[in-house]
Chains A and B, each alone.
Chain A
Amino acid sequence: MTGIDIYEKVLVVSPAVEIDAHSAERLRFAVDAAFEKSPCINMIFDFAKVGFMDSSGIGMLIGRYKQTEKRGGGLALVNMNNEMTRLYTISGLAKIIKNLPSLDEAIAALRGGAQ
């Protein structure tokens, strides 16, 4: 089950699926509904339970990044495996969205705090 929780005023999304065109669309609707209802401006995707992602996931992440930008916030990613990190780099996503080793570091980065 994909978890969507608020932690330290950040919407934390923890997908537990392989992210492809099919699941990315479902994820997109679930996350947008939760973000819309929440007062959060920042979002974190935790990939600890994701074993696979293709470029549909990249498109979905760019879309959520834009949602947070509209509120003056941002998006950060944590716990990506080596294969996902390669996709993240190849796609150019690394230029706009931070990939950090832990939730606390991601929260600090989104708040502009020292790491």
Chain B
Amino acid sequence: MNRIVLEIDSRACNVSLARVVTASFIAPLDPDVTELSDIKTAVSEAVTNAIIHGYGDNEANTVRMTLTLNERLLTVEVTDNGIGIPDIACAREPLFTTLPELERSGLGFTVMESFMDTVDVISNPGVGTTVTMTKLIKTIESNDEHGSPQDPSLA
């Protein structure tokens, strides 16, 4: 198992840093282009949500991203101490956005759910939000040469 924690100021310019760190963290597993893009996109969505929605673009706050690799299972946890989400089910609806004037598409959670295996949201209004996502990074040609990938739940 391997784990890193990244703490960043809640500035939109730091979202690209979160993506780069994530890509570097999983690079030893040699993910294919699609997996890498899926994970980077989901990270981008989660961190952007924390900055823009959690903190309302107030740059003096902190977003914490924890990446954990358990065998080939990646867990991404993104936490803010912002305003929280009063209605999580509503927030997860495609095209729902509280900020249409900023041209937010309302697709952040839809993208996370499409590109990751699981997405869980815990939020308390006035306290903050934690989004936890997982994805199993597949072994290339795992069935041909290396056998089936080990079940990470048994690790």
Query: Are the C-beta atoms of B105 and A25 separated by less than 8 Å?
Result: no
Report, as a range, how many residues of chain B touch the other chain.
Answer: 20 to 34
Question: Which one of B33, B41, B52 has the highest number of Cβ atoms from chain A below 10 Å of its Cβ?
Answer: B41
Other-chain residue from A22, A59, A90 in contact with B15 (beta carbon distance below 8 A)? A22
Other-chain residue from B33, B52, B95, B114 in contact with A21 (beta carbon distance below 8 A)? B52
B8-20 contact mask (Cβ, 8 Å, vs A): 1 or 0: 0000110110010
| Complex Cα–Cα for A33 and B103 (A) | 17
| 24 pairs, CB–CB < 8 Å, chain A vs chain B | A20-B16, A20-B44, A20-B48, A21-B15, A21-B48, A25-B12, A28-B103, A52-B41, A54-B111, A55-B107, A55-B111, A56-B48, A56-B104, A58-B107, A59-B103, A63-B103, A82-B33, A82-B34, A90-B107, A90-B110, A91-B105, A91-B107, A91-B110, A92-B94
Residues on A facing B (Cβ under 8 Å): 18, 20-22, 24-25, 28, 52, 54-56, 58-60, 62-63, 82-83, 87, 90-92
Residues on B facing A (Cβ under 8 Å): 12-13, 15-16, 19, 33-34, 37-38, 40-41, 44-45, 48, 51-52, 94-95, 102-108, 110-111, 114
